[in-house]
Amino acid sequence: MRQTAFFFLLLFIQTGVSAQATDYRKQQNYKEWVHLAPKFNDAFFRTEEAQRIGDNVLLYQQVTGGWPKNIYMPAELTEQEYTKAWNAKGDVNQSTIDNNATTTEIQYLARLYQATQKEKYKEGVLKGIQYLLKAQYDNGGWPQFYPRPTGYYVQITYNDNAMVRVMQQLREIYEKQSPYTFIPDETCQQARKAFDKGIECILRTQVRQNGDLTVWCAQHDRITLEPCKARAYELPSLSGQESDNIVLLLMSLPHPSEKVIESIESAVKWFKKSEIKGIQKEYFTNSDGKRDYRMIPCEDCPILWARFYELDTNRPFFSDRDGIKKYDISEIGHERRNGYSWYNKDGSKVLAKYEKWKKELNKK
């Protein structure tokens, strides 16, 4: 318990948010790990506690080089838990980029190697990078899980920023940004090639609606590249949730091609067309005593975008676990309404960035 207490003391010092630190002490789950791991300062990686956590990270690294998701890496493991984790290293079907898995662990080990110069951490990083490279399809896309053979996990996954996050990390690697300054040149070249293939996949999967380029689905078929479903309530659609970070990634390219420029312009046009104005959430306690919300009219409230739009009509829709489309959030059950993000404001980031991007483009 001493080491765990020390870990959370460091969290408190580095985040400066006492309320959050208190909550994290109670939760001790993977969400706090992926949220806080990138925020540790350099001094932390020179501590014994950082190495203790790093050894856990290596323990959970699978023979594929990737990591399973939803693991709380700072946990102090019992002998039984250690043995279970060791025996699971060969369960290759659990290696994933979902829920920030693998990319978080690669970054952590890279920073730990920079602080300690211990080869085992460097080896963990290089194996992790090779996992990302092997997981990429020839068409440039990444599945949610690799090498899991079946299910929606094998489709090209933009959902929850999975593929974009991998590409951002690969770019940091081939540019030798900190903490990846020690990565061999050959690996950097592989990362650059994989990144470029990823951009090509993004361009090829951009959906056309009535002949016009729009945005992307959360998942695309790994063979046909067409929009496809994932979980029962994640139907083929145009995604107002996942597409924003794809566009931001494209706008970050220093020398965009004509195809990239067309892609950005078309996506921005779609975001403007698909704005939802004049409604906002109102929270209340329902008849069962549960916290719930409804959408109510409002004035001068932030613009929203739906998570899913129909591929042909561009109409926002919602779905429960039965997979049936509904056109009003009140028509699905409490569990899915409150357990999933159906509306977001992230399109505003795209529109704000676009104005700056357009000015810079015109200067070139």
Task: Return mean pLDDT, the chain.
Answer: 92
CB of 156 closer than 8 Å to CB of 143: yes
CB of 165 closer than 8 Å to CB of 103: yes
CB of 100 closer than 8 Å to CB of 32: no
Any domain includes 164? yes
Any domain includes 250? no
Any domain includes 226? no
Read off the pLDDT of each residue in 17-34 and give the average, rounded to a whole number.
53
The SS3 assignment for 309 reads strand
CB of 172 closer than 8 Å to CB of 196: no
Any domain includes 338? no
Please determine, for residue 13, whether its predicted confidence score (pLDDT) is greater than 70.
no
Q: Is 231 a catalytic residue?
A: yes
Please determine, for residue 98, whether its predicted confidence score (pLDDT) is greater than 60.
yes
- In 3D space, the residue among 47, 92, 96 whose CA is nearest the CA of residue 74 turns out to be 47
Ranges assigned E (strand) in the chain: 156-157, 208-209, 212-213, 219-220, 238-239, 279-285, 291-297, 305-306, 308-309, 318-319, 325-326, 343-344
Quote the CA–CA distance of 24 and 81 in Å, as a whole number: 21
93, 99, 314, 344: the catalytic one is 99
Task: Classify burial at 99, counting beta carbons within 10 Å of its beta carbon; exposed 0-12, middle 13-18, buried 19 or more.
Answer: middle
Cis peptide before 179 (omega within 30 of 0): yes
Confidence of residue 363 (pLDDT cuts 50, 70, 90): confident
Read off the pLDDT of each residue in 96-117 and give the average, rounded to a whole number.
98
Any domain includes 190? yes
CA angle 65, 183, 10 (to 5 degrees): 75
pLDDT 10s digits, 117-146 = 999 999 999 999 999 999 999 999 999 999
Number of domains in the chain: 1
The predicted structure's pLDDT at residue 149: 87
Which domain CATH number covers 73? 1.50.10.20
The predicted structure's pLDDT at residue 21: 35
Quote the CA–CA distance of 97 and 139 in Å, as a whole number: 18
CB of 293 closer than 8 Å to CB of 286: no
363 or 273: which carries more pLDDT confidence?
273
Read off the pLDDT of each residue in 67-95 and give the average, rounded to a whole number.
94
Quote the CA–CA distance of 142 and 162 in Å, as a whole number: 8
Any domain includes 295? no
The predicted structure's pLDDT at residue 276: 98
The predicted structure's pLDDT at residue 10: 53
204, 222, 231, 336: the catalytic one is 231
Domain that holds residue 200: 1-205
Task: Classify burial at 295, counting beta carbons within 10 Å of its beta carbon; exposed 0-12, middle 13-18, buried 19 or more.
Answer: middle
The SS3 assignment for 310 reads coil
Cis peptide before 147 (omega within 30 of 0): yes
- Rounded to the nearest 10°, the torsion over CA 76, 79, 82, 84 is -130
CB of 111 closer than 8 Å to CB of 179: yes
Any domain includes 285? no
Confidence of residue 318 (pLDDT cuts 50, 70, 90): very high
- Rounded to the nearest 10°, the torsion over CA 133, 69, 240, 212 is 30
Any domain includes 335? no
